[in-house]
């Protein structure tokens, strides 16, 4: 099939490359010339495992091109909208101006029978608002939310766990057939296809992210209680997780969630609910957000308390900058927020990360950075693990690290280390919500 993908960020670049790898002819369109040049050279503009190879192969095969010229989308008959929906300036509501601009630019190139598939995470009601201008061309609009996780984006795109297609109006059946065709390989492997209406499809995405965020904040709320009563939240999570109805995944207590999706999506959802006159329906999301932000402060408090209340001039090594491992994304990174707070209290903070240092330096130039973890650890009075990279979780030896630091004190912001192993090596170990 001939496809266009409008917007080549995290979502669009991966989607374009994955669709080309499945045999489709794809043109990726983005307004950022530098990004387009990089992608056209087969290089990912961000760190995503497997993406460089996928892009390079697809570009070499001739099935994947990138351009800044939206007119080239005219050759395609299925157009994916994959532009970003960041928070609005000074407000929680999603800024949909990139979606609106993409549609306005695409409309003159649409032909009768074309299908426009919205993948961006949008406030519920967006598809209905956009549809008249798309349908006036004879094209149909479907909403097809994307659930990919950073770090697993290639796999999640090629082998999704479900495909949701929201449709409406007279062109609906034909549009569903087009979506069946484009996702044929996943569907043939048994991936479920859920055909629904526009608002349900839009809601699925924000509801999924709201649920995941709630699950994380639930266990972090339990961590707060565990801290008061001397319980251990990781054992609590294990015990809860054996109940199939609950499940252990996303019950990882620590410094909480960040990234480009969960924080902004729950805030945008709450803002949209307010616009819809249903503030109270998702008022709990404000609490989910508040619990999440408190855990960052808790990690800072653990360092301050362990160091006797004064951080001025104390060297603190922060292991991690990315909001999660296998990513170089530092958007709303809880770990970087902790680093910034520690520095604000007078500590000499040195941050290290296997992938995200460049991005971290760009937004927080005031922090010190070390490429090698050893350099960050050297002379540190406290170590704070904020991103559970294998390099820290599995490969960092407590005795080797102990030989580098000034004091064997570690705060495990992700509860990912074996406390006993670190204590046995002479470290003062503090987890989050753990004895
Ligand atoms: C999320 C959704 O998972 C994905 O489906 C959606 O399409 C986009 O948003 P992503 O932002 O890539 O994906 O990250 P995710 O793996 O969900 O992790 C989000 C944050 O939660 C990270 O900061 C992670 O460290 C944190 N987290 C995750 C926890 O604190 N505890 C957990 O148990 C799990």
| CA 45 to the chain's CA centroid | 16
| Tokens 């839009």 found at | 202
In the reported structure, the alpha carbon of residue 4 is separated from the centroid of ligand 1 by a whole-number distance in angstroms of 28
pLDDT, position 435:
82
Q: Name the residue with the closest Cα to ligand 1, atom 13.
A: 149
Specify whether the CB–CB gap between 183 and 163 falls below 8 A.
yes
Q: Taking the CB of residue 191, how many other CB atoms lie within 10 A of it?
A: 14
**What residue owns the CA closest to ligand 1's atom 9?**
261
Distance CA 180, CA 412 (A): 46
> How many residues make up the chain in this entry?
435
Fold of domain 2-196: Rossmann fold (3.40.50)
Per-residue tens of pLDDT for the chain, all 435 residues: 999 999 999 999 999 999 999 999 999 999 999 999 999 999 999 999 999 999 999 999 999 999 999 999 999 999 999 999 999 999 999 999 999 999 999 999 999 999 999 999 999 999 999 999 999 999 999 999 999 999 999 999 999 999 999 999 889 999 999 999 999 999 999 999 999 999 999 999 999 999 999 999 999 999 999 999 999 999 999 999 999 999 999 999 999 999 999 999 999 999 999 999 999 999 999 999 999 999 999 999 999 999 999 999 999 999 999 999 999 999 999 999 999 999 999 999 999 999 999 999 999 999 999 999 999 999 999 999 999 999 999 999 999 999 999 999 999 999 999 999 999 999 999 999 998
User: Please, which residues have CB within 8 angstroms of residue 199's CB and are 6 or more apart in sequence?
Assistant: 124, 125, 127, 128, 166
Helix (H) or strand (E) holding 200: helix 198-229
Alpha-carbon gap, residue 249 to 222, rounded angstroms: 15
Residue located nearest, by CA, to atom 2 of ligand 1: 149
CA distance to 24, 30, 310, per residue, from 27 (Å): 10, 10, 56
245-273: string of b/e by CB count within 10 Å (b at 16+)? eeeeebbbbbbbbbbbbbbbbbbbbbbbb
Q: Which atom of ligand 1 is nearest to the CA of 253?
A: 31
Q: Which atom of ligand 1 is nearest to the CA of 150?
A: 12
Position in ligand 1 atom list of the atom nearest CA 334: 23
Q: Which of 46, 262, 264, 268 to mutate to test the pocket of ligand 1 (most atoms within 8 A of CB)?
A: 262
Whole-angstrom distance, CA of residue 407 vs CA of residue 425: 12
Q: For the sheet containing 382-385, what is the strand order?
A: 368-369, 348-352, 315-319, 382-385, 409-412, 428-430
Q: Which residue is closest in CA terms to ligand 1's atom 22?
A: 257
- The DSSP element (H or E) to which 208 belongs, if any, is helix 198-229
C-alpha 379 to ligand 1 mean position (Å)? 33
What letter would DSSP give residue 198? H
Helices marked H in 27-161: 33-40, 51-61, 97-106, 126-135, 153-158
Q: Give 68 Cα–ligand 1 centroid separation in angstroms.
A: 31
How far away, in angstroms, is 258 Cα from ligand 1 center? Answer: 7
> What's residue 433's pLDDT?
98
Are 16 and 8 in contact, with CB atoms under 8 Å apart? yes
Q: How far is the CA of 262 from the centre of ligand 1 (A)?
A: 7
What amino acid positions are annotated as catalytic residues?
261
Taking CA atoms only, the protein residue closest to ligand 1 atom 24 is: 257
Q: So what's the pLDDT on residue 170?
A: 83
CA of 261, closest atom in ligand 1: 9
Q: Is there an atom of ligand 1 within 6 Å of 48 CB?
A: no
Say if residues 8 and 39 touch (Cβ distance below 8 Å): yes
Q: What is the spatial distance between Cα 379 and Cα 366, in angstroms, rounded to a whole number?
A: 20
Beta strands in 315-372 (DSSP E): 315-319, 348-352, 368-369
Distance 396 CA to ligand 1 centre (A): 24
Domain range annotation of the chain: 2-196
- Kindly give the number of the ligand 1 atom that is closest to the alpha carbon of 323: 23
Q: How far is CA 107 from CA 45, 101, 118, 178, in A?
A: 28, 10, 14, 19
Q: Where are the beta strands (DSSP E) in 134-282?
A: 140-143, 163-167, 193-197
Q: Please indicate whether residue 152, judged by its CB atom, sits closer than 6 Å to ligand 1.
A: no
Contacts for 68 with CB less than 8 Å, ≥ 6 apart:
29, 30, 31, 32, 33, 36
Q: What is the pLDDT of residue 31?
A: 97
Q: CB under 8 Å to 312, separation ≥6 — which residues?
A: 345, 346, 347
Are residues 116 and 178 in contact, defined by beta-carbon separation less than 8 angstroms?
no
pTM, to two decimals: 0.96
């Amino acid at each position: 099939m001939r496809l266009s993908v409008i917007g080549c960020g995290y979502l669009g670049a991966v989607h374009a490359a994955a669709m080309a790898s499945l045999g489709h002819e794809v043109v990726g369109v983005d307004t950022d010339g530098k990004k387009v040049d990089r992608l056209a050279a087969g290089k990912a503009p961000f760190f995503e495992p497997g993406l460089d190879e996928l892009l390079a192969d697809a570009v070499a095969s001739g099935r994947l091109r990138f351009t800044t010229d939206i007119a080239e989308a005219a050759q395609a008959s299925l157009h994916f909208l994959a532009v970003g929906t960041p928070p609005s300036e000074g407000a929680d509501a999603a800024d949909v101006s990139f979606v609106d601009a993409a549609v306005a630019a695409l409309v003159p190139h649409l032909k009768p029978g074309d299908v426009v598939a919205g993948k961006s995470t949008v406030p519920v009601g967006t598809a209905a608002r956009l549809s008249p201008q798309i349908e006036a061309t004879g094209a149909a609009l479907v909403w097809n939310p994307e659930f990919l996780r950073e770090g697993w984006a290639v796999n999640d795109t090629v082998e999704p766990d479900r495909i949701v297609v929201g449709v409406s109006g007279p062109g609906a059946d034909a549009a569903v057939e087009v979506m069946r065709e484009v996702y044929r390989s996943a569907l043939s492997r048994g991936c479920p296809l859920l055909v629904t209406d526009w608002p349900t499809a839009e809601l699925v995405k924000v509801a999924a992210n709201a649920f995941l965020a709630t699950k994380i904040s639930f266990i972090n709320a339990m961590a707060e209680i565990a801290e008061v009563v001397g319980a251990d939240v990781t054992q609590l999570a294990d015990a809860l997780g054996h109940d199939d109805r609950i499940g252990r995944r996303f019950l990882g207590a620590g410094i909480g969630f960040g990234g480009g999706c969960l924080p902004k999506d729950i805030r945008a959802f709450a803002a949209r609910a307010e616009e819809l006159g249903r503030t109270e329906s998702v008022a709990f999301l404000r609490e989910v957000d508040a619990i999440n932000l408190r855990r960052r402060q808790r990690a800072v408090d653990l360092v301050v308390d362990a160091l006797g209340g004064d951080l001025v001039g104390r060297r603190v090594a922060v292991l991690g900058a990315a909001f999660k491992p296998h990513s170089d994304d530092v958007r709303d990174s809880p770990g970087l927020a902790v680093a910034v707070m520690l520095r604000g209290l007078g500590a000499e903070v040195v941050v290290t990360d296997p992938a995200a240092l460049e991005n971290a330096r760009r937004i927080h130039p005031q922090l010190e950075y070390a490429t090698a973890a050893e350099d960050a650890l050297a002379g540190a009075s406290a170590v704070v693990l904020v991103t559970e990279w294998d390099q820290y979780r599995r490969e960092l030896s407590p005795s080797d690290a102990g030989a580098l630091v000034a004091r064997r004190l570690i705060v495990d912001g992700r509860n990912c280390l074996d406390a006993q192993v670190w204590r046995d090596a002479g470290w003062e170990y503090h987890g989050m919500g753990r004895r």
